[in-house]
Amino acid sequence: MDILYVIIALLVGGALGFVVTRFVLNANAKNAIASAERTLKDAEKQAETLKREALVEAKDEAYQIKAEADKEANERRREIKALENRLMQREENLDKRVESLDAREHQLSSISGQVERKQRDLDAAIASVQTDLERIARMSSDDARRELLDRVRGDVTREAATIIRESEQQTKSEADKKSREILSLAIQRVAADHAAEHTVSSVAIPSDDIKGRIIGREGRNIRTFEQITGINLIIDDTPEVVVISSFDPVRREIGRITLENLIADGRIHPARIEETFNKATDLVMKQVQEAGDQAAFDVGIHDLHPELIKTLGRLKYRTSYGQNVLNHSLEVAYLAGVMASELNIDPLPAKRAGLLHDLGKAIDHEVEGSHAVIGADLARRFGESPEIVHAIEAHHNDVDPATVLAVLIQAADAISAARPGARRETLESYIKRLEKLEAIANAHKGVERTYAMQAGREVRVMVEPDTISDSEAVVLAHDIAKQIEDEMEYPGQIKVLVIRESRSVDYAK
């Protein structure tokens, strides 16, 4: 029995040992597999990290290469631009030299022609004197007496003509002086501010999303808006702005108010557009009437026809070269009234004609013809006197001025338009006018340098003191001014100032 127990114990121990050994082996195998998997994952993460680092380094290197290439390209562009500027400057210098040579050639040709004419005149005078001497040598005493009387009578006639001409020139000079005093006084007494205005209106919108609502489904809203208001609505990529444009300034103002009210209300559809347009029309028409009434009241005219007042009020929304036409008309009325008072003329007709002189600009987009003729026809239709009608239609020489009032309106209109800053002028035409002024002065002999100053209202001419004397400087200023009058068109007047520098040099030894 003891042996049996021992055998059984050995078998049980062996079985337990086998089970334990198998369990330990399985656990070690699982641990080995898990360790291998962790090692593999770590290797993959490390490989991914190395890959990212390599990509970042490659991108950095590519960016550096691109930056260097851009820098080199910019340097090349700057070099090319500098070269282009130098070439353009050389070309301009060559053009100026060619123009100067042409001017000198023209001047030499003119001088040569004058010399030839004077030589011909001298030859003719010598021949005439020789003929007279030959004729006198063959005369009798009676014939000589008659010849002498005829010569005396001719001399007296020429002297009388000279005296008359001098008197006319003196009278004209005094009249010019008086007219300048009157114009200066009128300009000083009537001061006005000027602000440039545009022919299109911009409407600010809260965001670009509202543009889609203004256009509407398949363009329904914008078509309705343009059809009702009669204006063009421009919607482009400009952020938070919509532009409206029209030949009729009143319609443009109505359209602007309509669009602003629609945007503020937020409801944009055809029915609402028509309703808002009607309200805006009533508002603008009321403003037009108030503007016309206020303008007539300011000038002191209280018997204008209601239609003329309404048309006058429309000028509040009309501009000419950036100058508001209603403000311009008021200024012309004031200027004409001041000048009429200085001439001891009733100022009321002058103010009336000045206020109405640009009346045609309110409807010149609707009626064919010059605004002066249109305004004159309108004034005639509503009962204005022939004197006022003539002053309106003659202020731009559509007809020749036949009355003092018409001339006053012309002068007042020119003064108001010529005030510095009153009207907008393009940069190109401004530069061309300055260049033309300098070219005219530089074309004369003895001119060293020329500077156009004060927006082209003064030309300062530096002359060579060894070539031009003091008396010749006076003649040169007159010649330049005369050439400017003949070859250029400009508002107001241009001052020509010739400067001759005299230098006295000595040396202490």
Q: What is the pLDDT of residue 442?
A: 92
Q: What is the pLDDT of residue 193?
A: 44
- Would you give the distance in Å from CA 238 to the centre of its chain? 23
For residue 188, pLDDT over 60 is answered with: no
- Phi-psi sector, 448: left (phi>0), alpha (psi -120 to 50), beta: alpha
Mean pLDDT of 62-67: 89
Mean pLDDT of 478-501: 83
Name the pLDDT band for 492 (thresholds 50, 70, 90). Answer: low
CB 318 within 8 A of CB 308: no
- Phi-psi sector, 470: left (phi>0), alpha (psi -120 to 50), beta: alpha
Of 244, 224, 223, 222, the residue nearest 232 (C-alpha): 244
| pLDDT tens, position by position, 220-268 | 888 888 888 888 888 877 777 888 887 777 888 888 888 888 888 888 8
- Answer positive or negative: Cα dihedral of 150, 152, 154, 156: negative
Separation between Cα atoms, residue 499 and residue 462, nearest integer Å: 5
For residue 141, pLDDT over 70 is answered with: no
Residue 244's DSSP bridge partners are 201, 233
For residue 387, pLDDT over 90 is answered with: yes
Separation between Cα atoms, residue 258 and residue 285, nearest integer Å: 13
Residue 243's DSSP bridge partners are 202, 234
Highest-pLDDT range among 115-119, 201-205, 461-465? 461-465
CB 309 within 8 A of CB 322: no
The mean pLDDT of the chain is 80
| pLDDT tens, position by position, 405-436 | 888 898 888 877 765 444 544 456 667 888 88
Separation between Cα atoms, residue 20 and residue 395, nearest integer Å: 127
Lowest mean pLDDT among 12-16, 115-119, 325-329, 473-477: 12-16
The DSSP code sequence of 204-270 is: E-S-THHHHHHH-GGGHHHHHHHHHH--EEE--SSTTEEEEE-SSHHHHHHHHHHHHHHHHH---SH
What are the tokens at 296?
């007539």
For residue 377, how many other CB atoms are within 10 A of its CB? 17
Name the pLDDT band for 186 (thresholds 50, 70, 90). Answer: low
Percent of the chain topping pLDDT 70: 81
Separation between Cα atoms, residue 244 and residue 200, nearest integer Å: 6
Q: What is the pLDDT of residue 460?
A: 92
Q: What is the pLDDT of residue 419?
A: 55
CB 318 within 8 A of CB 326: yes
For residue 103, pLDDT over 70 is answered with: yes
Buried-state track 69-90, b at ≥16 Cβ within 10 A, e below 16: eeeeeeeeeeeeeeeeeeeeee
Name the pLDDT band for 192 (thresholds 50, 70, 90). Answer: very low
Mean pLDDT of 324-345: 87
Mean pLDDT of 55-68: 88
Name the pLDDT band for 352 (thresholds 50, 70, 90). Answer: very high
Mean pLDDT of 354-378: 85
The one-letter amino acid code at 346 reads: D
Q: What is the pLDDT of residue 178?
A: 57
Percent of the chain topping pLDDT 90: 8
- Higher model confidence: residue 252 or residue 152? 252
Q: What is the pLDDT of residue 170?
A: 61
**Distances from the Cα of 442 to the Cαs of 100, 436, 437, 486, in angstroms?**
8, 10, 9, 16
For residue 196, pLDDT over 50 is answered with: no
Lowest mean pLDDT among 136-140, 370-374, 419-423, 484-488: 419-423
- Higher model confidence: residue 383 or residue 163? 383
Name the pLDDT band for 390 (thresholds 50, 70, 90). Answer: very high
Note the pTM of the prediction, 2 decimals.
0.48
The one-letter amino acid code at 46 reads: Q
Q: What is the pLDDT of residue 191?
A: 46
Q: What is the pLDDT of residue 158?
A: 59
For residue 142, pLDDT over 50 is answered with: yes
